[in-house]
Amino acid sequence: MKKNYLLPISIIVLLLLNAMLVYFLNTVKEKRAASAKQLSVLQSEMLELNKLSKNYGEINENYQKLSSSLPKDYGEFAAVAQEFSTIASASGLRMVFGAENDVKIDVRPGGSVRHVGVTVDLVGSYPNLIDFLTKLSSMLSYIRIEQLSMEAKDEGIQSTMKLVIFMR
């Protein structure tokens, strides 16, 4: 008589063990899927941080190039160069500075006007260039665009601007 009960009890124990194993495997599978999703989010955030880091390096490099080409007693021009570089980056443009070393001081009645000629190469899309020019018009310094040329390139439109930045 004992043998008749052992088989059903063994089957019930095996079914319970099987149910616990299935539950455990599903829990592990769900945790693994959640971990994979978190890993994916972290990887995309790392890529974004790397892009931002690259943009900072590019902005800082442009700022340093322009700043080094200006006379040391014109600190305002360095601040304008930084603002210029920030606006270009915010507009989605890549820029390269080349100063013409055309710094002049014109003494006028009631004060002086200082200005510097700068050539800037910008690469990006046409809408980005329009956005840049719109933002440029809102800068505190007066900037006159003396020449603007554009050329289609593989990476977008390359424009060269000859500017004069006026400071009071």
Quote the CA–CA distance of 6 and 27 in Å, as a whole number.
Answer: 31
Give the model confidence (pLDDT) of 4-21 as tens digits: 777 778 888 888 988 999
Q: What is the pLDDT of residue 86?
A: 84
Question: pTM for the full model?
Answer: 0.49
Contact 129, 152 (CB under 8 A): no
Do the bridges between strand 156-167 and strand 142-153 make them parallel or antiparallel, or are there none, so unpaired?
antiparallel
In this prediction, residues 124-147 reach a mean pLDDT of 83
Q: Answer yes or no: is pLDDT of 29 > 90.
A: yes
Give the model confidence (pLDDT) of 115-134 as tens digits: 777 788 888 888 888 888 88
Task: Write out the two tokens for 52.
Answer: 């931002």
Q: Answer yes or no: is pLDDT of 149 > 70.
A: yes
Give the model confidence (pLDDT) of 86-117 as tens digits: 888 888 888 766 545 444 444 445 555 567 77
Q: What is the DSSP string of the chain?
A: -HHHHHHHHHHHHHHHHHHHHHHHHHHHHHHHHHHHHHHHHHHHHHHHHHHHHHHHHHHHHHHHHHHHHS-TT-HHHHHHHHHHHHHHHHTT-EEEEEE----EEEEETTEEEEEEEEEEEEEE-HHHHHHHHHHHTTSSSEEEEEEEEEEEETTEEEEEEEEEEEE-
Domains of the chain and CATH, by start: 45-167 (3.30.70.60)
User: What is the percent of the chain with per-residue pLDDT over 90, rounded to a whole number?
Assistant: 14
